[in-house]
Structure 1
């Protein structure tokens, strides 16, 4: 197990503190001796209030990063959770940012329990959001980036919040992250060029994609759900197809992706049932990511170029 050395005065001087907040609630992160990570953490956030603060003993950070030789280490002082006993210490700044991303999602769910969170991608196409319930290697992140490149607005590629009062999707304002290696047979050269052009914070396993303001919804922006599309990516060549899915199957799909622990399960069920009742429900089978994006646009883009949303 890695041993965290006692901080020297020099190490303390190198520690920098970020205060990241929304709606009056804040997450404090200390970064010790790795200035590149200090700036990289901010790159994936959209719409958050971010300020650097002096490091004082009176305010305790929620998360502390440090550099340990060839790896990054982190800990959560409140519960003694560390990188090593959760994921293993990341070996790249992209890996450290990924760990922050994961824990930041959890923090949001804990602090903003008036919302519930789902493991879903969400993209506004036309006048409403399409939810893509989670599925291992289903291509959610690649599809969201492809839709963003076509002018639509990403509300999330991994986790989104739901306002139980309005049942609208709420963006957490976090950039999409695609897994590597890319499925080269499933993407066009144009999409590959787009990914290369906008790639940031990458390593051998992942790559964050830097989206422009109109392509990425800031934290707190909301929009109604108009469709639920379960993704099924196949290695077989052929045109993308969109088939109807029963409301019951769609509801089960969303329930299985519920991340919330602060809201009673019965309440989450009622809210998800309301979303499903107001949306069209489908299952999409596809091989080429661009074909899938084109099919979704043909079916759902009833208001081309509309990128409006309701600010919270």
Structure 2
């Protein structure tokens, strides 16, 4: 075992000499444990300091980095390790712009990666640790690198759980979290899987599924259902560590993936039971009878009464079809919008030629066999939202329409 040293520069794969620790060997121990799959080499501190630095201050530590020019006080070795890992991850993606950091958990099931995009308190880290307790390999609980080839690459960081763990969790999971406890303080505990169960830095696997999580304390048993591919695409577009990447570039990376892998919704209460249900469902072809589900749509923007006349799409808007939906990207702002199948049909009609709401209602009414007045109301609402988002604009008065 390598003995911890008081001060030195840390070298990591893919980053080189990136972090200087001064008089805080306990933080080095915490980092080694929390990043068990990302080997750390300590060399003598010399020359210009690396971009990330941590030194002792009073009864705690102070960290400096490009993201923290004024410094940040950290009270415990575990808190310091958490903050340093966040900066190391950011540094990795800054130096590897061809990779995209996906914000979420990831585990290997039947040779492919299952991704859980981040969602507020949905339990991605807990579920990732539960997968480890059930014998699956962990690729990450918070970040996964998406390679240019569309595969997922592990960084080698162990799952981190928020404390205290609920007593309602299965005894087997609670026991695992105790037996494999890593660095911890009053708020967090790293759970370090045994050798071979935490993917090493640089390991890659193809993606197998995107699973959105819904914690439901009233759920008697885990329930798995299918979602439209657009649900997964929207999550990937929202939950990534690529703020400087143009929306259309992200769309080009994510769209082919969601056209090839399923998107599922897992509603659950107890994580270990959820892991067993999901692991069984994904260890082979998905059951044909899996029920379909839909997430609540975002509210449509409103701009008041529509002006009379024909409407046409703005030339600066790019469109990307996925399954029977359509995603729109406004290039100037990078804003992303999602249209359901009916919205996609309206957009395609407008792309063909400028049309008025009345003409659109007539065409759609004939297509769906619905009353003109009812369809007109829906068309006007959609056009109002598109106009408020500056995706369409008036193309002339009614008399100028074809």
TM-score by length of 2: 0.67
Residues 2-81 of structure 1 mapped to structure 2, 5 A cutoff: 16-23=7-14, 25-56=15-46, 58-76=47-65, 80-81=69-70
Please report how far the alpha carbon of residue 224 of structure 1 lies from its aligned counterpart in structure 2 after TM superposition: 0.8
Counterpart CA distance in 2 for 1:48 and 1:223 is 17
- SS of 2:74's partner is coil
TM superposition shift of 1:32: 1.7
Which protein has greater RCO, CA pairs closer than 8 Å, 6+ apart?
1
Establish whether residue 82 from structure 1 lines up as the match of residue 71 from structure 2.
yes
* 1:181 counterpart residue number: 164
Matches within 5 A, 1:142-181: 142-164=126-148, 166-181=149-164
* Partners of 1:62 and 1:197 in 2: CA distance: 35
5+ long unaligned stretches in structure 1:
1-13, 84-88, 304-312
TM-score by length of 1: 0.85
**How do 1:211-222 and structure 2 match up within 5 A?**
211-222=193-204
* Separation of aligned partners in 2, 1:47 and 1:150: 19
Map of 1:224 onto structure 2: 206
Q: Give, in whole Å, the separation in 2 of the partners of 1:219 and 1:272.
A: 23
1:242 is matched with which residue? 224
**How far apart are the structure 2 equivalents of 1:220 and 1:262?**
24
Moved runs in structure 1, 4+ residues, more than 3 A?
A: 46-49, 261-264
* Contact map agreement 2:103 2:240 (CA 8 A) in 1: yes
Residue 189 of structure 2 corresponds to 207
Instruction: Summarize the alignment of residues 258-297 of structure 1 with structure 2, pairs less than 5 Å apart.
Output: 258-261=240-243, 263-297=245-279
SS in 2 for 1:151: coil
Measure, in 1, the Cα distance between the counterparts of 2:233 and 2:67. 36
User: Quick one: distance in 1 between partners of 2:39 and 2:154?
Assistant: 15
Q: Indicate conservation of the 8 Å contact 1:247/1:276, yes or no.
A: yes
Aligned-partner Cα distance in 2 for 1:288–1:49: 33
| Counterpart pick for 1:233 among 211, 215, 228 | 215
RMSD: 1.9
Q: Residue by residue, what CA displacement relative to the aligned partner does 1:69-97 show, whole Å, maximum 9, x if unpaired?
A: 222211127972411xxxxx221111010
**SS class of match (2:26):** helix
Q: Which moves more between the two structures, 59-68 or 121-130?
A: 59-68
Which of 53, 78, 81 is the matching residue for 1:94?
78
